[in-house]
Chains A and B, each alone.
Chain A
Amino acid sequence: MSLFFQSLVLGVLLGGLYALLAAGLTLYFGVMRVVMIAHSAFLILAAYLAWFFTSETGLDPLLSLVVTVPLFFVTGVAMQRLLISRLRPATLTMMSVLLTFSVALVIEGMLGFVFSGTQRRIRLPYSGDSIELFGANIAVVKLIAFGLAAVSLGALFLILKKTQFGQALRATIQHPDAARLVGINTDRIAGYGFGLGLATAAIGGTALALDSTIYPSLHWHWIGPLMAIIVVGGLGSIPGAAIAAMLLGLGQSLLQIPLGTTWAQTIFYVALFATLMVRPQGFFGGRLAQRF
């Protein structure tokens, strides 16, 4: 029973991280109809930056966010303006996949080149600490990671719902032509949307670095589940992505008890195929998802 409860809690904590990262992927897809393969590569890049920061300065990896979040935001805007927007509109979806894929390869290669392929892990004074919660042992670092993800997701929600920029961004996602007609500079908004998406990768990466071992090719283990999540949630729907992330994260965590870690990962792919067979537009997607 306590094992079950433990898995349940861990599943929620994992689901939170998935939700934040999937929200980023959804943003790219929303503003540009781009499937951003490099998202998880940037995630690992941020994790490496956090590790590097801590091992060089000895400060807490969370402080690296002060640098990485703005840096990733600017990188995202630059990537949208300089790379993605240069592609031909007629073949944008396919070519952007290839372009972001090539970015992912370059990042992976450079990480291996600069930091070597050795597995890295941040050592913190509170790494081994855990909190006892109704009989479940929860590592403190996992709680911090979840808190980080939850706070950022909340901030993202507030930005999208309450600010004028968020309104413009949502308008751009819903109907770019109409958004232009009411005077929104959709190109600039799309760039900022991209930057916002990449900023989630910076936060997620730092959270990831807190409690896991990182290596350059780790991003392939993340991109599959994340893409499955955004398809299940319905491409372009941020609440859908968050709900799907929570459910699948929980499912993965619970399935680890009977199946072991490797086979538990297949839940994402099973869910992906089941969704495409039963409801190709995703379970929470609207009109937007149907065409893609």
Chain B
Amino acid sequence: MRSASDTTTATSTGRGGMLLKGAGLLVLAALVLAFPAMAPDPFILSVGVVIMSYAVLATSWNFVGGFTGYISLGHASYSGLGAYATALLVIHTGINPWVAMLLGGLVVAALAVPIGIASLRVRGASFVIVSIAMVLILLLVFQSWGEVTGGSNGLRVPRPFGPDVLRPEQHERFFYLHAALLAVALLAWWAIDRSRFGTGLKAIREDEDKAQSLGVPTFSYKLTAFVVSAFFTALGGGLYALWFGFLDPIFQFSILVGSYMVLMSLLGGIRSLFGPFLGAVIVGYAVEFFKNQYGDTQFHLVAMGLLLGIVVLFMPDGIIPAVSSLLRRFRPEAASIREVSQADLAEQRRRTSSPSTSGTARVASPADGESTGDADDGSPDRLSEGVQR
């Protein structure tokens, strides 16, 4: 949604806007590429790799979370499956690790099809329930199925680079590899965002019933987005496995990892291309800082919970939309058609109708709350608009 309004402002401000955007992208890319050279020691570099890994996962999550508005708390199942698939392929068949990673991604994407069919048939709530259930099942299975997965003892993953490549050098290479994967994921997100497919997905996010009645094949669109998301998440998990070299079900299939992806994306802004990336940098840095400073106590759970709660309550749109709407105040009003979210629209209606008929508005506003994405915006609203005119 923001992206589309960005494009309208870009056309209204003409070349300048485009140039500005290009320059911003270049600066961002240069910053990312220069990071390994700027990092003072291997530890900071390894933190950088972790953050890039989070960025890949969060961006992959955003294929389904950002476009369709279906929030999955269990994307750790796909990153974990990708990691284990990659590791097991390398160990048992001895194929090239990068091929194994790609194959692992494809396997997970294939697995995501039946999971998606089961969980996307009904609206929101069941989707979330299934996403959490998936992580819990996989944790159970991977812990008990010791002869294949190594169980709770963990699984050692062979390194893709030989022993002559030292640790800092490893970190540097994997940093660039993660950055490359992130670039591919971002490009795919951008391409979908601008396509007809993406428009359909965003229509589902705003109002699934209306989208369906306008002829959007909602189910197959949702499923496709879900599978693409699982594919990229699995690649991210596989790359992480090759870097880290050790897998433990407790950390791979952890609800916490899945909720990090959600928190990062929400904090940055799920409707913006770079939102999850920004969120990953902030949250990833905070997590590593916390672990370094306070050790692995239970306190990071509290901090994470509080942060998530604050984001959900007070800034569900994220940082990027907040900042860009602030910037837009200083620009001339865009005259062309803009996309407005269902929530904004309801808010606008409520605001315009409340001064004249506060009584009806009070009745009407909970009526919107009857269900998510409900088609009727409360006829009293429309009525009071008529009265105003």
Q: Name A's B-contacting residues (CB within 8 A).
A: 29, 33, 35, 37, 83, 86-95, 97-99, 101-106, 108-113, 117, 176-177, 180, 186-187, 216, 220, 223-224, 227-228, 231, 235, 262-263, 265-266, 268-269, 272-273, 276-277, 280-281, 289-292
8 Å CB interface, B265-294 against A: 266
| Residues from chain B with Cβ under 8 Å of A106 in the complex | 301-302, 305-306, 309
5 more A-B contacts (CB under 8 A) besides A83-B313, A105-B305? A98-B71, A105-B304, A113-B297, A180-B367, A262-B144
B344 to chain A, nearest CB (A): 9
| Residues from chain A with Cβ under 8 Å of B211 in the complex | none
Instruction: Decide: A94 near B372, CB < 8 A? Known: A106-B302, A291-B123.
Output: yes
8 Å CB interface, B345-379 against A: 346-347, 363, 365-373
| Residues from chain A with Cβ under 8 Å of B306 in the complex | 102, 106
8 Å CB interface, B191-250 against A: none
How many angstroms from the CA of A40 to the CA of B183 in the assembled complex?
Answer: 40
| Residues from chain A with Cβ under 8 Å of B301 in the complex | 105-106, 108-109, 112
A118 to chain B, nearest CB (A): 12
B201 to chain A, nearest CB (A): 15
B17: interface (CB < 8 Å): no
* Cross-chain contact B305 with A97 (CB below 8 angstroms): no
Find the residue from A105, A117, A231 having the highest chain B CB count within 10 A.
A105
| Residues from chain A with Cβ under 8 Å of B132 in the complex | 37, 223-224, 227
* Cross-chain contact A91 with B119 (CB below 8 angstroms): no
Q: Which of B122, B133, B313, B343 contacts A86 (CB 8 A)?
A: B313
* Cross-chain contact B346 with A97 (CB below 8 angstroms): no
> From DSSP, what is the main secondary structure of chain B's interface residues?
helix
How many angstroms from the CA of A143 to the CA of B157 in the assembled complex?
Answer: 49
| Residues from chain B with Cβ under 8 Å of A92 in the complex | 369, 372
Instruction: Decide: A109 near B370, CB < 8 A? Known: A224-B132, A276-B130.
Output: no
13 residue pairs A–B, Cβ–Cβ below 8 Å = A89-B343, A89-B368, A98-B71, A102-B308, A105-B301, A110-B298, A180-B363, A180-B367, A186-B366, A266-B137, A272-B129, A281-B122, A289-B122
* Cross-chain contact B298 with A113 (CB below 8 angstroms): yes
* Cross-chain contact A112 with B298 (CB below 8 angstroms): yes
| Residues from chain B with Cβ under 8 Å of A87 in the complex | 312-313
Q: Which of B71, B128, B309 contacts A103 (CB 8 A)?
A: B309
| Residues from chain B with Cβ under 8 Å of A269 in the complex | 133, 136-137
How many angstroms from the CA of A43 to the CA of B365 in the assembled complex?
Answer: 33
B150: interface (CB < 8 Å): no
Q: Name B259's closest neighbour in chain A (CB-CB).
A: A101
How many angstroms from the CA of A106 to the CA of B342 in the assembled complex?
Answer: 31
Q: Name B's A-contacting residues (CB within 8 A).
A: 69-71, 73, 117-119, 121-126, 128-130, 132-133, 136-137, 140-141, 143-144, 255, 259, 262, 266, 297-309, 312-313, 316, 341-343, 346-347, 363, 365-373
Instruction: Decide: A89 near B346, CB < 8 A? Known: A105-B259, A227-B129, A277-B118.
Output: yes
Find the residue from A104, A263, A269, A281 having the highest chain B CB count within 10 A.
A269
| Residues from chain A with Cβ under 8 Å of B133 in the complex | 224, 227-228, 268-269, 272
| Residues from chain A with Cβ under 8 Å of B259 in the complex | 101, 105
Instruction: Decide: A276 near B119, CB < 8 A? Known: A106-B301, A216-B298, A224-B133.
Output: yes
> From DSSP, what is the main secondary structure of chain A's interface residues?
helix
* Cross-chain contact B122 with A265 (CB below 8 angstroms): no
Find the residue from A102, A187, A269 having the highest chain B CB count within 10 A.
A102
Find the residue from B133, B141, B308, B367 having the highest chain A CB count within 10 A.
B133
* Cross-chain contact A262 with B297 (CB below 8 angstroms): no
How many angstroms from the CA of A269 to the CA of B141 in the assembled complex?
Answer: 12
* Cross-chain contact B309 with A102 (CB below 8 angstroms): yes
| Residues from chain A with Cβ under 8 Å of B307 in the complex | 102
A84 to chain B, nearest CB (A): 10
How many angstroms from the CA of A272 to the CA of B297 in the assembled complex?
Answer: 34
* Cross-chain contact B144 with A263 (CB below 8 angstroms): yes
Find the residue from B122, B298, B309, B316 having the highest chain A CB count within 10 A.
B298
| Residues from chain A with Cβ under 8 Å of B130 in the complex | 272-273, 276
* Cross-chain contact A280 with B121 (CB below 8 angstroms): yes
| Residues from chain A with Cβ under 8 Å of B137 in the complex | 224, 266, 269
* Cross-chain contact A103 with B343 (CB below 8 angstroms): no
Q: Name B131's closest neighbour in chain A (CB-CB).
A: A97
* Cross-chain contact B367 with A177 (CB below 8 angstroms): yes
Name the 4 nearest CB pairs between A and B, nearest first. Answer: A112-B298, A109-B301, A105-B305, A89-B369
Instruction: Decide: A220 near B372, CB < 8 A? Known: A90-B343, A99-B312, A109-B305.
Output: no
How many angstroms from the CA of A265 to the CA of B313 in the assembled complex?
Answer: 35
Find the residue from B117, B128, B306, B312 having the highest chain A CB count within 10 A.
B312
A176 to chain B, nearest CB (A): 5
